[in-house]
Amino acid sequence: MKTPLVARPLSKVAVEQLAGEFDLSDLTLPFWGYRKKMPMHRIVRLEGEGNYTLFHFADGSQLIVSLTLKKMESRLSSKVFVRPHKKNIINLLYLEGIYPGQQLCAGLVNGDRVEVSRRKASRFIKQVKGFQQELKTMYTPWPVA
């Protein structure tokens, strides 16, 4: 399979550096009786499950929060987080490749594959290209993972 847009995934060091460049602050999440701050740049993807959102982090851990994906989307940085499907939001810092086929898929560095809906495919491709272009203007070359 070809990966037409993403040349190579970013290293952990590059992700940490870019977190500062893109001003990815901590995200405050509500839990029973308290709130907890989570680093936004360590979120690989968010998955909607009804009125809950499941967070997938770079270290492999997961966390579920009682907020909808739509509410979470408004709290995330639109510079690096995109919604390729109604059920998922992905962090472009962890994008490994885009795989064409019967259904366009975005591959993430943790091994997850997220479908891109047909309606959102052209907008998603434009967002990825714009993000890649912004990375090229910021710094070149980035160390690979």
47 located within any domain: yes
7 located within any domain: no
Domain that holds residue 64: 12-137
Structure tokens at 62: 């997961």
5 located within any domain: no
Q: Is 33 or 143 the better-scoring residue by pLDDT? A: 33
Q: Are 125 and 98 in contact (CB under 8 A)?
A: yes
115 located within any domain: yes
68 located within any domain: yes
CATH assignment of the domain containing 87: 2.40.50.1020
4 located within any domain: no
1 located within any domain: no
Q: Tens digits of per-residue pLDDT, 67-85?
A: 999 999 999 988 899 999 9
- Can you give the pTM of this predicted structure? 0.84
142 located within any domain: no
Q: Average the pLDDT over 23-34 and give the result.
A: 81
